[in-house]
Structure 1
Amino acid sequence: MNKEFAVIGLGRFGGSIVRELVELDCDVLAIDIDEELVNEYQDIATRSVVANTTEEQVLKDLGLRNFDNVIVAIGDNIQESILTTLLLKDIGVKRVTVKAKNNYHARVLEKIGADLVVHPERDMGRRVAHKLTSSSVIDYLELSDHHSIAEYIAGSKIEGHSLLDLNFRQKFGLSVIAIKRSDDILINPDPKIKIRKDDILIIIGEDDDLNQFEKKVML
């Protein structure tokens, strides 16, 4: 079953998360107080609504308690960001991810219970989306508009198989450029090497191919 996310705040940062989550086949509720912004995402998000998220009853009416993760991506209004986060935790949302404007804002968010505080200057929307949708994603670095390097932790689906058997290049168009194993790092690893549980695979490829790989192998 697809994971369900709600994104509050549809500026550049929140909008990029909505788009990437949709690309990863997630159900996304897009929320903003600005009707014009909400209209932009009517044909992108699973559902988009105009709402003031600083009102507790509004959050309850939207059923946000039932979502896997609520992302608060409110722009420059720190007060609205803090109040929305506080209310989300009060109504029982299990995981709240919040965009912080500065270090002071981040410290306040952590104190009121935010589960993950994101600094946009360090964590772009696409990187965050991948880390949220898969516990196998360790890091995600954009190289260009269409290519990225991602780090994945090996799970049961690939444990015990060799890179030759897995054949990621033929199946997904991806290249494993290194494997982190305990304190060692294997550069350009031998294709006959067997993958161990908790190995970290460093993979390079096109974004669409990485998305398919995550959905079919790593989720």
Structure 2
Amino acid sequence: MKKEFAVIGLGRFGGSICRALAEEGMEVMAIDNSEDRVNEFSMIASHAVVGDSTDESVLKSLGIRNFDHVIVAIGDNIQASILTTLILKELGVNNITVKAQNDYHEKVLRKIGADHVVHPERDMGKRIAHNIISNSVLDYLELSDEHSIVEIVASDRLVGNTIIDLDIRAKYGINIVAIKRGNNIIVSPQANEPIAENDVLIVIGADVDINRFEKKVIQ
């Protein structure tokens, strides 16, 4: 069965989520208090509705509690974001993801029961910064304040060596969870897998260990 999603707030962030879900064939209800934005998404989402998400009666009338996942992507109005989240929790929505403007906003959202809190601007900033700093880093995904998954281009120092030869886990405390090789992805590569030219290593570990690995082996 297709999952049903509701996206509240059709700004840049909410709009991109709405488009991505629709492209994946999901059922999506798009909700915003701007008629112009709703009209923009009327041909993209399964349903597009003009409504005030801080009005409990509006959300009830839309059957919001029946959706599998609700994304609160309200822009700069922190009060509306918090109130909408609180109403969703009280109505019994099982899975709520909310966009936070800052750390204080996140603390409040978590206290009132948001299941997932995201900082799209902050997180994208970190990814871009990592990519700019290191020529070898292709992508960066923060798992927590101290751990990440990073895509790293294999340097000449690594090419021709097997994973067991490099002994990366013992020396650096990180793990190679996959190798991208052209159009193929080798998941959980064997210890005797040799690293080839242009391989992209997908590495997981503590940030300090990943940085140490980059400086000693990659750069």
Q: TM-score, normalised by structure 2?
A: 0.60
Counterpart CA distance in 2 for 1:115 and 1:103 is: 16
Counterpart CA distance in 1 for 2:123 and 2:17 is: 11
The SS at the match of 1:5 is: strand
**Would you say 1:33 and 2:33 are equivalent positions?**
yes
Counterpart CA distance in 1 for 2:189 and 2:59 is: 42
Residue 113 of structure 1: aligned partner = 113
Of 164, 174, 179, the match for 2:188: 179
| Pairing of 1:92-171 with structure 2 (within 5 A) | 92-123=92-123
Counterpart CA distance in 1 for 2:194 and 2:51 is: 50
Cα deviation code 1:48-105 (max 9, x no counterpart): 0000010111111100100010000000000000000000000000011000000000
Query: Root-mean-square deviation (CA), in Å?
Result: 3.0
Q: TM-score, normalised by structure 1?
A: 0.60
The SS at the match of 1:121 is: helix
Counterpart CA distance in 1 for 2:194 and 2:24 is: 29
The SS at the match of 1:20 is: helix
Percent identity reads 63
**Structure-2 change in CA distance of 1:178 and 1:74 (3 Å):** same
The SS at the match of 2:108 is: helix
| Pairing of 1:186-205 with structure 2 (within 5 A) | none
**Structure-2 change in CA distance of 1:176 and 1:121 (3 Å):** same
Q: CA deviation at 1:179?
A: 2.8
Structure 2: state its 5+ residue gaps.
125-138, 142-149, 152-180, 203-219
Cα deviation code 1:82-132 (max 9, x no counterpart): 0000000000000110000000000000000000001012456xxxxxxxx
Counterpart CA distance in 1 for 2:123 and 2:71 is: 13
Counterpart CA distance in 1 for 2:57 and 2:108 is: 23
Counterpart CA distance in 1 for 2:188 and 2:4 is: 32
Larger radius of gyration: 2
| Pairing of 1:63-82 with structure 2 (within 5 A) | 63-82=63-82
**Would you say 1:18 and 2:18 are equivalent positions?**
yes
Q: Which has the higher contact order (CA 8 A, sep 6+)?
A: 1
Number of corresponding residues = 147
Cα deviation code 1:177-203 (max 9, x no counterpart): 55379xx8x7769xxxxxxxxxxx96x
Counterpart CA distance in 2 for 1:187 and 1:6 is: 46
